[in-house]
Amino acid sequence: MDNYEVFAPFYDAVLGGRKERVTEYIAPLLKEHAPQASSVLEMACGTGNIMGLLKDEYEIAGFDLSPGMVEVAKQKFPNVDISVADMTDFDLGRTYDVILCLFDSINHLASFDEWKKTFICAQKHLNADGILLFDMNTGTQFGMYRGKEPMGRECGDDYALLQCIAGANDNEVFWNFKIFAKEDDGKFTLHEEHIRERTHPMQDVQDALNEIFSSVSVFAEDEDNPSDKTERLYFVCTK
């Protein structure tokens, strides 16, 4: 399956807009749970949208599995340490105060075993009292979009269609991205990519995290009682 290689040049125009909202939500969580933090690593940093908003306050580094996404991020932030790596198996030779993994990047992993491998790798890369902060889409979120009509977006001269297609069960969907990119001669070229997301019950994720981290808290935007009914869950895990 493709992994953002087709989508990378269009990613910011199509999805980049929600970065301020995410950063506004996580900034107070960082202040509360890692008040002394100075170094931040973003796993699955994509084109660097979140890094861009945090880089003036923190020493920031990031990596992503997709060379295309990393190339875009490096063009935007040439002085930031950004590399190609796999969050299920990485060794950066140093530790950080905070590790982030945002905008449902964790949902891109193929199996729950890969989630656990990611948690273990992240834990090893944290300083004492450091935190892992990540979000995940729930089955409720999948259900809200699955099978609906495609969503159309105008992105500069290009047009994008996004559709959420049902997977093998309620815990799997495929995001289909169709980008109609305007060429110099005025004609449009279709670029298409399918991106799979999978989710797992909140309790399973908490149980796996509790085996690896000393404390685990779950949060939700605008909700006091996060659950599988919540659209997007945020986990804060202390080393």
Ligand X SMILES: C[S@@+](CC[C@H](N)C(=O)[O-])C[C@H]1O[C@@H](n2cnc3c(N)ncnc32)[C@H](O)[C@@H]1O
The whole-angstrom separation of Cα 50 and Cα 29 is 15
Q: Out of 30, 40, 41, 45, name the contact with ligand X by CB under 6 A.
A: 45
The minimum distance between CB 204 and ligand X, in angstroms, equals 19
> Is-contact 177 192, C-beta < 8 A?
yes
120 vs 227, beta carbon nearer ligand X? 120
**Structure-token pair, residue 109:** 């992993």
The minimum distance between CB 44 and ligand X, in angstroms, equals 3
3 vs 227, beta carbon nearer ligand X? 3
Per rule CB under 6 A, is residue 66 in the interface with ligand X? yes
Per rule CB under 6 A, is residue 141 in the interface with ligand X? no
Q: Out of 26, 44, 133, 208, name the contact with ligand X by CB under 6 A.
A: 44
Q: Out of 2, 3, 176, 227, name the contact with ligand X by CB under 6 A.
A: 3
Total residues contacting ligand X by CB under 6 A comes to 21
In our burial notation (b when 16+ CB lie closer than 10 A, e otherwise), range 89-109 reads ebeeeeebbbbbbbbbbbbbb
Residues 77-96 within binding reach of ligand X (CB under 6 A)? 86-88
Cα 6 versus chain centre, distance: 18
Per rule CB under 6 A, is residue 40 in the interface with ligand X? no
The whole-angstrom separation of Cα 170 and Cα 148 is 14
103 vs 119, beta carbon nearer ligand X? 103
Per rule CB under 6 A, is residue 122 in the interface with ligand X? no
Using DSSP, state whether 3 is helix, strand or coil. coil
* Dihedral (Cα; 47, 44, 147, 145), 10-degree rounding: -80
Per rule CB under 6 A, is residue 46 in the interface with ligand X? yes
Instruction: Return the closest-CA partner of residue 19 out of 60, 40, 48.
Output: 48
CB burial of residue 56 (10 Å; 0-12, 13-18, 19+) = exposed
Per rule CB under 6 A, is residue 137 in the interface with ligand X? no
The minimum distance between CB 64 and ligand X, in angstroms, equals 5
Per rule CB under 6 A, is residue 50 in the interface with ligand X? yes
**Structure-token pair, residue 74:** 């490096």
> Is-contact 96 131, C-beta < 8 A?
no
Residues lying near ligand X in the complex (CB under 6 A) are found at 3-4, 43-46, 49-50, 64-66, 69, 86-88, 102-105, 108-109
